[in-house]
Structure 1
């Protein structure tokens, strides 16, 4: 039964992608808008939770109606992104320059940092069509790569990796991937990472959106170990068809500082840019992430103490 379900999911996804590729850009987005509308207004998938998150962050600064509007735009943007990435084979350098404001400035900044440091980490949060950063980097000739978990459906997993290959090289998580990342970073590679994801186990507590977010140290640690900078890059959608890409000041490690303190500083600096962008355009952020970045960690069990340890009776 599971095999049949996996095949149905796979062929449904392939059929949808085929339709999006066949349609003009505007028609593909119109289709995505309709599907998103059903999900938001009829099925109401995770809608209440997204609104709750928005209100928890902005409080009285937004009315219930404004919170609903932000939630809708965020949801619609997800479907727009999916439609555009299903058409990734039709995205050319000419298309990117026509549709992405600030693209050349960001690519020039990336090239300069690679020349100066031998590699680069780019921090791209879940804003706008964040996947376009990878597409642009790949088409500019950078060795751009990222890591992703394996999908349960093996057919979907292979197809997604094929599609992702048009934007960047995707490494599957595993014990050997850490060495691969460092080696590529030290040989002019560009490691793209989503910084606004909650870690399931205690790591770095970073002030974010009025609370404390438990974020991974990987972004900063890879950069510090490979002696390369972190470049925050934020995308936003302008209307239906256009995008804006902005790069902020690179974040460099301080080799003289305490390692843990430096990793925290680097991560906080990146997340300050992300928070400012979210507060300026909250509808551009993805409020539906299952790994809600501000969800508190479950209480950790106390480690039992043996006789003779500090604090033992």
Structure 2
């Protein structure tokens, strides 16, 4: 496995604020925790699958290398606990959410309902925000790219800051997808939830 930017992660962890890692359903996203969990304590945010047998096997896979799974219905308290314990917490933020749970940001030129959770935890904890992507480089090899922590100038009110951070993170994901669009999980209806003004 080739890893680019490992020093970005290690430097961020030395700040002792934990780390908020984010990515997308892109490339080999389930491989990433195998590497990250070797660098420090890692929690991953997940929604349980509807199929209990598949969920059981997926949980085994995710935890086999030391990662801890936090399910969305119990997320807030456990995420804060993880960050205060200086752990890494990994989010995938490229899927549609319900309108009442969303902020709308531009994604491939169209408004997309996106979770504000990553931005909210960033503002609350000041933990570094780090993009991470994993993709295949051959039939038997993978590459992980860890970006530098984001440096975002803030100064507006809370809602505008959440929107700004979410838009920046979403743009990073879009840029990565544009490089290799075949690696993204296109089967998901990313733009299903629409802003109220479009339905008026």
Give the TM interval when normalised to the shorter protein: 0.7 to 0.9
Q: Name the counterpart of 2:17.
A: 118
Deviations 1:2-56 (A, max 9, x none): xxxxxxxxxxxxxxxxxxxxxxxxxxxxxxxxxxxxxxxxxxxxxxxxxxxxxxx
SS at structure 2 position matched to 1:131? coil
Which of 181, 191, 194 is matched with 1:294 structurally?
A: 191
1:256-295 superposed matches below 5 A: 256-289=155-188, 292-295=189-192
Q: Name the counterpart of 1:182.
A: 80
**How far apart are the structure 2 equivalents of 1:296 and 1:271?**
16
**How far apart are the structure 1 equivalents of 2:92 and 2:123?**
17
Which of 74, 85, 89 is matched with 1:191 structurally?
A: 89
- Deviation of 1:252 after TM superposition, in Å, equals 4.6
**How far apart are the structure 2 equivalents of 1:149 and 1:226?**
23
Which of 228, 236, 239 is matched with 2:138 structurally?
A: 239
Gaps of 5+ in 2: none
SS at structure 2 position matched to 1:139? coil
- Radius of gyration: which is bigger? 1
Alpha-carbon RMSD: 2.3
SS at structure 2 position matched to 1:222? helix
Q: Name the counterpart of 2:46.
A: 148
The yes-or-no answer on 1:206 pairing with 2:111 is: no
Deviations 1:162-196 (A, max 9, x none): 2210242112232x431111111122111101011
1:20-169 superposed matches below 5 A: 100-101=1-2, 103=3, 105-140=4-39, 142-167=40-65, 168-169=67-68
Go from structure 1 to structure 2 and tell me whether the alpha carbon gap of 1:280 and 1:158 turns closer, same or farther (over 3 Å shift). closer
Between Structure 1 and Structure 2, the one with more strand by share is 2
Gaps of 5+ in 1: 1-99, 303-313
- Deviation of 1:298 after TM superposition, in Å, equals 7.9
- Deviation of 1:251 after TM superposition, in Å, equals 2.3
Q: Name the counterpart of 1:91.
A: none
Higher relative contact order (CA 8 A, sep 6+): 2
SS at structure 1 position matched to 2:171? helix
**How far apart are the structure 2 equivalents of 1:296 and 1:159?**
30
- Deviation of 1:145 after TM superposition, in Å, equals 0.8
How many residues of Structure 1 are paired with residues of Structure 2 in the alignment? 196
- The answer (yes or no) to whether the contact 2:99–2:193 under 8 Å persists in 1 is no
- The answer (yes or no) to whether the contact 1:251–1:266 under 8 Å persists in 2 is no
